[in-house]
Chain A
Amino acid sequence: MSLDNTPALSDTTKEANMDLNHELTQRIDVLESTDAIREVRHRFNELLDAALESGSDHTLDQLVALLAPDFRWTSKVHGSVHGAGAFAALVKDRSTTCQMSFRILASDLHHPSDDADRSTVTWSSLGMLTIDDQQLWAAAANTDTYARIDGTWRIESIDNDYKFVCRYEEGWTDERFVEHTLLSRVM
């Protein structure tokens, strides 16, 4: 008998409540993970822009902290860069010729996953860059993978499918891509 006036719950009711609690916890976790993944990618973008403009080691350290150790950055332009350290070195190198980097990210599509600790997301991005004194538009479709490591979502890979990287003054109609020397400086 309970000590207050609340009727004691039957075992069946208790079990049903626990099941509901468990299900709600899982559903909230999916929403929180979606939000955390979106924000870690936005943070990555912010720091990538800052690192490309400054070459600051402190900013690069902050950037690397968002990545899984075996992070991969791939594109037809860059091939595959494997490892968070190698990626940081690439950014550091590209920062020597980047005067301005500003990229907006939109249209995130979170693909269903059976694994609560892994996720694949596609994005569209539009970059406004100045490299070697040349202002460029850079549009890409990105396919990212994310992993939850020790409770924190980190970026495992980013694949860049560039749609156009063109001179601001010329646009993307005649030539969607600038010459390789300049293109290879774009991130």
Chain B
Amino acid sequence: MSTDLDKRIAVLETKQAIRNIVHEKGLALDVPYDADAIRNVYTSDAAVITGSFGRYRGADQYYAMYAQLAERIPFTFHLKTNGIIDVADDGDAATGRWFGFEAPTVGSEAVIGGLVERSAYRPENARWLISSYDQTLKFLCPYADGWKARDASAGAWAPR
């Protein structure tokens, strides 16, 4: 097969591998917050930036953050849609943008959220993983109020 076809197939395979890891993370979030499973979708040095939920770098920090969320959030439902993935010319790195929608129960309160995610990806131990995750909340609000409340309560729900 020609080098050109080989490269074009590699890009398609990379994009599918990245979609898979993004959705694998979504499933882990919906356990809810299976910190061990979530650690398997990030690189060991990944930066996780969650807006009003804080910034975390490296496996120890983001593992602790997700483990803490699991204690306070008994139910979650996440959708990841609207994905756009750009693979670098050398094929060794990629970036992505996604929309996220979530419907968790925080404590005993139903919550809905919408966010825009910007992520980066690179292979580690022969698997494409998330090397950085940066979310910008469009809204995160009690279901009873709706999104006009935006993220008024987000600070109170953040891991401590």
Interface residues of A (CB under 8 A from B): 21, 24-25, 28, 31-32, 35, 38-39, 42-43, 45-46, 100, 102, 104-106, 128, 130, 133, 135, 168-169
Contacts and interface: CB of A to CB of B under 8 A. Distances in A.
Interface string B10-47: 00100100000000000000000000000000000000
Nearest to B82: A42
Given A25-B5, A39-B85, 17 more contacts: A24-B5, A31-B12, A32-B8, A39-B83, A42-B83, A43-B84, A46-B84, A46-B99, A100-B139, A104-B81, A104-B99, A104-B114, A128-B138, A130-B147, A135-B146, A168-B147, A169-B146
A133 B83 CA distance: 29
A133 B84 CA distance: 31
Nearest to A31: B12
Chain A binding site: helix, strand, loop or mixed by DSSP? Answer: helix
A92 to B, nearest CB: 21
Interface in B38-67: none
A161 B1 CA distance: 45
B2 interface: yes
Given A31-B12, A35-B15, A39-B84, A102 B79 contact: no
Contacts of A31: 12
Contacts of A24: 1, 5
Contact of A45 (B82, B101, B114): B82
A46 B82 CA distance: 8
